[in-house]
């Protein structure tokens, strides 16, 4: 389905993005759920898919993680099922992410879908990333507070909540409504009736993740092999002292690694194009031959990108799922990065180049793209 999101993006970015939360009523007009609660429950039974069940009874919270075998033991109130990265596994649901591509692809993470019965929710909490919450079937009551410092507590080892907060948003959401919550704003939502919610989460790497990821790259590429040297070393009264200029020189050795644009960009492309969740990879059997792919495209078949696959451009380089796409046909690769569905016309003359056709064949045989029936 082609979902149309009614948001004035320029106004939204100026007034709300990472500034304050907002409910946008009827942002999706005539909203239709891309899946049913039963289909969501079926996904939660799959081993490869991250899911959890959160319930509470008189202040006692319980959390269990999938895969689940049955939901027959659950009552009619106070529980919710949450399934992560549904866009990786359910193509109609993945379409919900596309209206948010006014924001850059590298920032969009995944689509989490939750089904909750009356009273179902995960309690008051904070997120450290931006999120758009789309209301599907049913109604849900949301409270959002102002940014501040909140005492945290763990009613369950797998559930981090915060103390009660004063609300600046206190409203019911109906199908097609969208709630945007920036990082650090406390919020809680409880279903008023059986309801589906769709959460578009955004990736926000921490400094720790960046340093750790870049350090791994430095080791793998054997960078930074130059050793510290001090031909101008000076005498000092205290042999135990490390002088400020020596600390500066050591820090410079480290920052010089980061300040190599070519290496940094290449690392970041590999790092940020990797998905944080499993992909529904299904390499074709038997693998395609290059000639078969050429013929299918020329006959009018189109290629569909795998749900959740991250295809990004950093500088002049393109990356897919942690690997660089090496080719001189920039326009053709740009089409693969830009468009979810690609036909021969978008790939142009690149299809006549055996080296590009071999590259495309390898990508398809990896399960990254497939021919849509």
Domains and CATH numbers, the chain: 9-202 (2.60.120.650), 207-230+237-259 (no CATH), 290-371 (3.40.366.30)
Mean of per-residue pLDDT scores for the chain: 96
What's the pTM value of the predicted model, to 2 decimals? 0.93
pLDDT at 351 over 70: yes
Reading the block at residue 69, the tokens are 């075998």
The per-residue pLDDT for 370 is 97
Q: Is the pLDDT of residue 373 over 80?
A: no
Q: Which residue has the tokens 């300040």?
A: 259
Q: What is the mean pLDDT of residues 95-115?
A: 97
> For strand 323-325 and strand 167-173, is the pairing parallel, antiparallel, or unpaired?
unpaired
- Neighbouring C-beta atoms of residue 222, cutoff 10 Å: 7
Asked whether the bond before 98 is cis by omega within 30 degrees of 0, the reply is no
Q: Using alpha carbons only, give the angle 233, 234, 240 rounded to the nearest 5 degrees.
A: 95
The confidence score (pLDDT) of residue 222 equals 95
- Which pLDDT score is estimated for 72? 87
Q: For the chain, what percent of residues have pLDDT higher than 70? A: 100
To the nearest 10°, the Cα dihedral for 143, 178, 114, 141? 30
What integer pLDDT is reported at residue 226 of this predicted model? 93
Residue 112's nearest CA partner among 82, 137, 134 is 82
């Amino acid at each position: 389905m082609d979902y149309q999101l009614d948001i004035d993006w320029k106004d939204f970015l100026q007034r709300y993005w990472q500034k304050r939360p907002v409910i946008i009523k009827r942002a999706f007009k005539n909203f239709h759920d891309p899946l049913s609660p039963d289909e969501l429950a079926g996904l939660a039974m799959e081993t490869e898919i991250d899911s959890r069940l959160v319930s509470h009874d008189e202040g006692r919270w319980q959390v269990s993680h999938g895969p689940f075998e049955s939901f027959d033991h659950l009552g009619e109130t106070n529980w919710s099922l949450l399934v992560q990265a549904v866009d990786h596994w359910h193509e109609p649901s993945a379409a919900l992410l596309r209206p948010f591509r006014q924001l850059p692809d590298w920032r969009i993470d995944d689509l989490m879908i939750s089904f909750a019965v009356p009273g179902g929710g995960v309690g008051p909490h904070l997120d450290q990333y931006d999120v758009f919450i789309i209301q599907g079937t049913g109604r849900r009551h949301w409270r959002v507070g102002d940014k501040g410092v909140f005492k945290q507590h763990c009613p369950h080892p797998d559930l981090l909540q915060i103390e009660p907060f004063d609300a600046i948003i206190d409203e019911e959401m109906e199908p097609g409504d969208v709630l945007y919550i920036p990082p650090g704003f406390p919020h809680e939502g409880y279903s008023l009736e059986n309801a589906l919610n769709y959460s578009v989460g955004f990736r926000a790497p921490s400094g720790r993740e960046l340093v750790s990821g870049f350090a791994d790259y430095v080791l793998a590429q054997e960078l930074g092999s130059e050793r510290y040297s001090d031909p101008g070393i000076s005498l000092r009264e205290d042999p135990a002292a490390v002088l400020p200029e020596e600390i500066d020189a050591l820090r410079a050795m480290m920052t010089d690694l980061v300040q190599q644009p070519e290496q940094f960009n290449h690392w970041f492309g590999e790092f940020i194009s990797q998905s944080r969740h499993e992909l529904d990879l299904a390499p074709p059997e038997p693998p395609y031959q290059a000639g078969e792919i050429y013929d299918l495209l020329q006959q009018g078949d189109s290629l569909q990108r795998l749900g959740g696959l991250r295809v990004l451009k950093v500088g002049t380089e393109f990356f897919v799922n942690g690997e660089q796409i090496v080719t001189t046909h920039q326009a053709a690769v740009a089409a693969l990065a830009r468009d979810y569905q690609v036909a021969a016309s978008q790939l142009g003359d690149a299809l006549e180049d055996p080296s590009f056709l071999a590259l495309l064949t390898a990508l398809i045989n990896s399960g990254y793209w497939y021919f849509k029936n």
